[in-house]
Amino acid sequence: MLPFTIEQFLGVFASYNRAIWPAQVFAYLMGGLAFSLVFRKGRWSDQIIAGILASMWAWTGIVYHLIFFASINKLAYVFGALFAMQAAAFIYFAVSRSHLNFGYTGRPAGFIGVALVAYAAAIYPLFGLEMGQLPNQLPTFGVTPCPVTIFSFGMLLLTTAPVSRWLLVIPFLWSLVGGSAAIFLRVPQDWALLMAGIVSLALLIVRDRRMAPAG
């Protein structure tokens, strides 16, 4: 049993989207930059991409979860802390250890990564509108949990070196928690979040094992 109603849940999105405007536009610009840098590599491309992903997780954890969602669900404080931890993880692995290498290889993981990015940025909101959700009640790309998680899975599939399992733990957990909205809150576009978590984790594990040096 959820501690809030569907109406309260959608109301949080409506008030959140009004309050943060035009941050949604900036999020799309940053997401587009991150995606473009996968294909147009520069010296600091990997760090910029990771920084953008980190900022999305930090913003969503602090602003959405702690300030808005906590008004109807006290578990939002836990969610906010986890999202902040994921933001720190992106920074740590990209800057401190340089273990994030983004690029498109044309392999199945890369193809699905592109599909997930497209879904998070374009198909997700269109799906919501088609199902009758009002524009101001839509979970928005780059600043709300489920689109951020789907986008992150897509970007992690667009890597050319093994990805630390620590970077996958929180997104996978959120794919289960947030994906439950597809069932309990009638947010059908979040079925893809459940699938993104399972498919991305499996693909990355298989791909990274193949990349591991023999012996």
* Contact between 98 and 177 (Cβ < 8 Å): no
Q: How far apart are CA 11 and CA 159, in angstroms?
A: 37
How many other β-carbons are positioned within 10 Å of the β-carbon of residue 151? 28
Going 8 to 183 to 120 to 87, the CA torsion angle's sign is: positive
Summarised one tens digit per residue, pLDDT across range 97-148 is 667 899 998 888 999 999 999 999 999 999 989 888 889 999 999 999 999 9
Return the DSSP state at 102: B
Q: How far apart are CA 89 and CA 94, in angstroms?
A: 8
Quick one: what percent of the chain has pLDDT higher than 70? 97
* Contact between 84 and 57 (Cβ < 8 Å): yes
Q: How far apart are CA 54 and CA 136, in angstroms?
A: 25
Global pTM? 0.95
